[in-house]
Structure 1
Amino acid sequence: MSLIICLGALAALIFLAYRGFSVILVAPLAAMAAVLLTDPSAVAPAFSGLFMEKLASFVKLYFPVFLLGAVFGKLIEVSGAARAIVGGITRLFGPGHAILAITIVGMVLTYGGVSVFVVVFATYPFAVEMFRQADIPKRLLPATIAFSAFTITMDALPGTPQIQNIIPTTFFRTTAYAAPWLSLASAAFTFGLCFAYLRWQQRRAQQRGEGYGTGHRNEPDIGEGGSALPVWLAVLPLLLVAVGNRLFLALVQSGYGESAVALLNPAVPTAKPVVQEVTANAALWSLEAALLLGIAATVAIGWSTIRERFAEASQAAIGGSLLASLNTASEYGFGAVIAALPGFHQIATALSTIRDPLLNVAVTTNILCGITGSASGGLSLTLGAFADRFIAAANASGIPLDVLHRIASLASGGMDTLPHNGAIITLLAVTGLTHREAYKDIFVITIIKTLTAFFAIAVYYGTGLA
């Protein structure tokens, strides 16, 4: 019965999200319904002491990254830099290669530090225009954007500043550049299969005479907007974020040592210093500093365009970052409640029988990311509950923690993109399509991405590549 309660809560969350309800509302309702069926007297303390505690802890750690990433992405759009990048890539590949062009745009933006949520908004207007010109069915557009932003630059490429690559650093004391060669091999595997699938679907549509289509919802009005920027200047802020992230990480680690202390009023004898462990925060601090550098660079190169819209753009970015972070945090709270139920203990017990450390990490992370519908929320939940066990097993088997980091990160981007995933809900809403119209192709991308973690495990065991 307890297992049925857990699975029922997950099914309810997926169904309601599929029907268009906000996970910020339905995640706590589904979680508390599961608690009610388990122990009615535990509903109130579980809501305040578990669901809200986990939600708040996630926001405390990661909201600055969501906020700065959203502001950076919005300014990239408003300044004309995103349009310049799209135009340059389109000229390079030609209008007939819209899928490849949009994929590269999304990957450039994501790897440069723009939040995956922001990339959806930033690329959609340009992607629509490219798909129209190439007469590619619009139903393939969400999967193309998902491929561009939710795959290799989210968690596979070494150094990516996305949260899914940062979270393991706080548990394994690694860096965003963990296992670089394994990362590159995994990225090549994912890119090749996803791109081949989307091109195959494009050719099949052409053979059937299926084009872009008509009567679509939420069609953007493509305007000129923004000043004309040379491509090299438009890309500069993205490069600064990527390079700055690495440099700031080195500065933080060398400048602070093992801990950072802030004593703001030393004249007061009873004043207590604020002490933070550097190894647990260095990756977050360096990314936040790099995003601030990117924001400053974007404002500098696009000030003539940005200055009149800065207040409006920043407000939109703040609203978007709040929605994105609360979506993820709410799913994290849902996962934490489910993890406390007896039924989850049965799942955890079954998972603990997987003796291989890397397979254990990959399977456990995929399942919990699927339960929460969030790569970052599920990954945080997995490592928060099992990191010590993973580390002990890896040490006993002689597996470097860098490899553990990379497998966990890759696995987080697998089954997270089930229908109730916040990013998928946002993506479909922005593109004006429904799950029924577009989710099939997104799900294929999800399957390929799920296989990537197991491909990486096979590569590591077969070659020792890290």
Structure 2
Amino acid sequence: MGLFGILLGLALLMWLAYRGWSILIMAPLAALVAAAISGEPLLAHWTQTFMSGAARFVAQWFPMFLLGGLFGKLMDDSGSIKSIARFLTERLGTHRTLLAVVLASAVVTYGGVSVFVAFFVLVPMADEMFRAANIPRRLMPATIGLGAFTFTMSVMPGTPSVNNAIPMPYFGTTTFAAPGLGIIASIIIFAFGMWWLARAEAAARRAGEGYVASAELDSTVDDRTREQAAATGGFDPAEIDHGKRSADEPPFILALLPLIVVIAVNFLMALFVLPRLDFSFLAEQRWGGVTIGAVAGVWAVVLALAAAILTVIIVNYRRLPSLRETLDAGANSSAVPILMIASLVGFGAVVGALPAFATVRDAVLDVPGGPLVSIIVSMNVLAGLTGTASGGMAIALNALGSDFMRLSTEYGIAPELMHRLTTISAGTLDALPHNGTVLLLLQISKLTHGESYLDMVMTVIVSVIISLAVVVVLASMFGSF
């Protein structure tokens, strides 16, 4: 019965997520259902197991969520995102509309801006370009998705996204783990995605299909989509219209500068500065008895985002009409997402504490093919079930992270490879139809699943699966690099 309870809890979690229920409600409910069927004490699991797991996640990741929300809102209100997108699209021109939109999406998100903040700038701009190039609007979500939430979300080394950061404490890695494999995977995703988009555009032109205007675009997000979207990223879409946007845009170089600061500071801190400093005091119990390897990656990203925030404010101080309102909105935008993902972690903590979970753990770890296949399967399944890469990854690593690390040592697998396979795997089936990022992008674009989802499947799911297969082959031949 215990195993049935775990499966029923997962099924309930998936079904309620698909129906648009808040994870803040459904995660503890699904956890209590699993505990009840297992004959475990409900209140103890809710207050001691569920809340302990959720609280650990908040304690570990709140600085990054907070700074990420602040940075995204500052980049938006200062006009920096619009300046970057406009520069790239104007330089590449309407005859390279698809490439321009993909690159604009990739640049701002690789630099640390939340995909949700980027959507509200990129969608109207892409709509203008698609009209000028006479390209069907239905291809817009697949184009933006390719640049915004594939290789820049979890594949490219150094990307400061939550998805690329979550594995770091478990494997003692940084966001630059397995850089060679990450770059190769990114090239494959980009190349396949662009090939598919070019093919789709050519087919539309042969069929005489062009741009058809729809209802006027706006930034209104319904409550159901907001709930689902907030659980998949680090920014609450409800805060996008709070604060005040600048009436003008900074020059391209000044707009790009904060993104450069994020990558540069993250790189220097993670690989050069922090590893060379003496942090032996962290071994004391008052600091958690950890090593610098367990926290260096997180600290590097936090310092990078903090430096970028200061850069945005200094460079664009006159372009921020109400700095306090912008900062308030950015800070508030981080609260709901981190609590939702923490609730998923709490659900995983309860499941992991049930006696029957040993059967699940053994089944996952004994999958034919060794640890690499085990980690790929578990990340894909949980990301697909929960509809969120970060949530699925957090559940899996909270329950199995120590086992994966032990197996990597036993099999002589580099932790950096485990990190990169974890992030790539979690970024495949997470983009199923109920994924909040997919829903938000479609809603802002005023398009439906029937119109646009097939092309999204090819650019944001199939492309990543192909890259994952190539990475596995290369890793089996050459290891991590």
Deviation at 1:355, TM superposition (A): 4.2
**C-alpha distance in structure 2 between counterparts of 1:218 and 1:335, whole Å:** 38
Question: Which segment drifts farther, 436-445 or 70-79?
Answer: 436-445
Map of 1:462 onto structure 2: 477
Equivalent position amino acid for 2:362 in 1: T
Instruction: Provide closer, same or farther for how the CA distance between residues 428 and 20 of structure 1 changes in structure 2, counting only shifts above 3 A.
Output: farther
Map of 1:243 onto structure 2: 264
Equivalent position amino acid for 2:191 in 1: G
**C-alpha distance in structure 1 between counterparts of 2:338 and 2:56, whole Å:** 12
Map of 1:255 onto structure 2: 277
**C-alpha distance in structure 2 between counterparts of 1:439 and 1:142, whole Å:** 8
Instruction: Provide closer, same or farther for how the CA distance between residues 196 and 323 of structure 1 changes in structure 2, counting only shifts above 3 A.
Output: farther
Deviation at 1:442, TM superposition (A): 3.1
Picking from 301, 312, 324, the partner of 2:325 is 312
Instruction: Provide closer, same or farther for how the CA distance between residues 31 and 262 of structure 1 changes in structure 2, counting only shifts above 3 A.
Output: closer
Deviation at 1:465, TM superposition (A): 5.9
Instruction: Provide closer, same or farther for how the CA distance between residues 15 and 388 of structure 1 changes in structure 2, counting only shifts above 3 A.
Output: closer
Map of 2:116 onto structure 1: 117
Kept after mapping to 2: 8 A contact 1:105/1:148? yes
Q: Deviations over 1:383-417 (max 9, x none)?
A: 33323332333333332222222212211212222
Map of 2:421 onto structure 1: 407
**C-alpha distance in structure 1 between counterparts of 2:357 and 2:446, whole Å:** 36
Picking from 373, 385, 389, the partner of 1:371 is 385
Q: Deviations over 1:280-325 (max 9, x none)?
A: 211111211111111111112211111x232232232223222322
Deviation at 1:166, TM superposition (A): 2.0
SS of alignment partner, residue 20 of structure 2: coil
Picking from 385, 388, 396, the partner of 1:382 is 396
Deviation at 1:238, TM superposition (A): 0.5
**C-alpha distance in structure 1 between counterparts of 2:443 and 2:44, whole Å:** 34
Map of 2:252 onto structure 1: 231
Map of 1:20 onto structure 2: 20
Map of 2:31 onto structure 1: 31
Deviation at 1:338, TM superposition (A): 4.1
Kept after mapping to 1: 8 A contact 2:54/2:342? yes
**C-alpha distance in structure 1 between counterparts of 2:216 and 2:298, whole Å:** 38
Map of 1:349 onto structure 2: 362
Deviation at 1:204, TM superposition (A): 3.0
Question: Which segment drifts farther, 96-105 or 415-424?
Answer: 415-424
Map of 1:269 onto structure 2: none
- How many residues matched? 455
Kept after mapping to 2: 8 A contact 1:259/1:276? no
Residue 358 in structure 1 maps to residue 362 in structure 2: no
SS of alignment partner, residue 362 of structure 1: helix
Kept after mapping to 2: 8 A contact 1:331/1:373? no
Q: Deviations over 1:138-167 (max 9, x none)?
A: 333333332222211122112221222222
SS of alignment partner, residue 256 of structure 1: coil
5+ long unaligned stretches in structure 1: 264-271
Instruction: Provide closer, same or farther for how the CA distance between residues 343 and 52 of structure 1 changes in structure 2, counting only shifts above 3 A.
Output: same
5+ long unaligned stretches in structure 2: 221-244
**C-alpha distance in structure 2 between counterparts of 1:352 and 1:261, whole Å:** 30
**C-alpha distance in structure 2 between counterparts of 1:359 and 1:274, whole Å:** 32
Map of 2:241 onto structure 1: none
Instruction: Provide closer, same or farther for how the CA distance between residues 370 and 119 of structure 1 changes in structure 2, counting only shifts above 3 A.
Output: same
Instruction: Provide closer, same or farther for how the CA distance between residues 125 and 261 of structure 1 changes in structure 2, counting only shifts above 3 A.
Output: farther
Question: Which segment drifts farther, 357-366 or 42-51?
Answer: 42-51
Kept after mapping to 1: 8 A contact 2:106/2:152? yes
Instruction: Provide closer, same or farther for how the CA distance between residues 18 and 275 of structure 1 changes in structure 2, counting only shifts above 3 A.
Output: closer
Map of 1:266 onto structure 2: none
**C-alpha distance in structure 2 between counterparts of 1:3 and 1:62, whole Å:** 31
Kept after mapping to 1: 8 A contact 2:262/2:307? yes
**C-alpha distance in structure 2 between counterparts of 1:167 and 1:209, whole Å:** 46
**C-alpha distance in structure 1 between counterparts of 2:341 and 2:251, whole Å:** 36
Map of 1:98 onto structure 2: 97
Kept after mapping to 2: 8 A contact 1:154/1:165? yes
SS of alignment partner, residue 429 of structure 2: coil
Question: Which segment drifts farther, 149-158 or 110-119?
Answer: 110-119
Q: Deviations over 1:323-363 (max 9, x none)?
A: 32233223333344444456654443322223422222222
SS of alignment partner, residue 315 of structure 2: helix
**C-alpha distance in structure 1 between counterparts of 2:126 and 2:393, whole Å:** 30
Instruction: Provide closer, same or farther for how the CA distance between residues 323 and 363 of structure 1 changes in structure 2, counting only shifts above 3 A.
Output: same
Instruction: Provide closer, same or farther for how the CA distance between residues 6 and 358 of structure 1 changes in structure 2, counting only shifts above 3 A.
Output: same
TM-score normalised to the size of structure 2? Answer: 0.84
Equivalent position amino acid for 2:27 in 1: A
Instruction: Provide closer, same or farther for how the CA distance between residues 149 and 273 of structure 1 changes in structure 2, counting only shifts above 3 A.
Output: closer
Deviation at 1:199, TM superposition (A): 2.8
Deviation at 1:85, TM superposition (A): 0.9
Map of 2:139 onto structure 1: 140
**C-alpha distance in structure 2 between counterparts of 1:385 and 1:274, whole Å:** 20
* Structure 1 vs Structure 2 CA RMSD: 3.0
Deviation at 1:83, TM superposition (A): 1.6
Instruction: Provide closer, same or farther for how the CA distance between residues 12 and 121 of structure 1 changes in structure 2, counting only shifts above 3 A.
Output: farther
Instruction: Provide closer, same or farther for how the CA distance between residues 14 and 217 of structure 1 changes in structure 2, counting only shifts above 3 A.
Output: farther
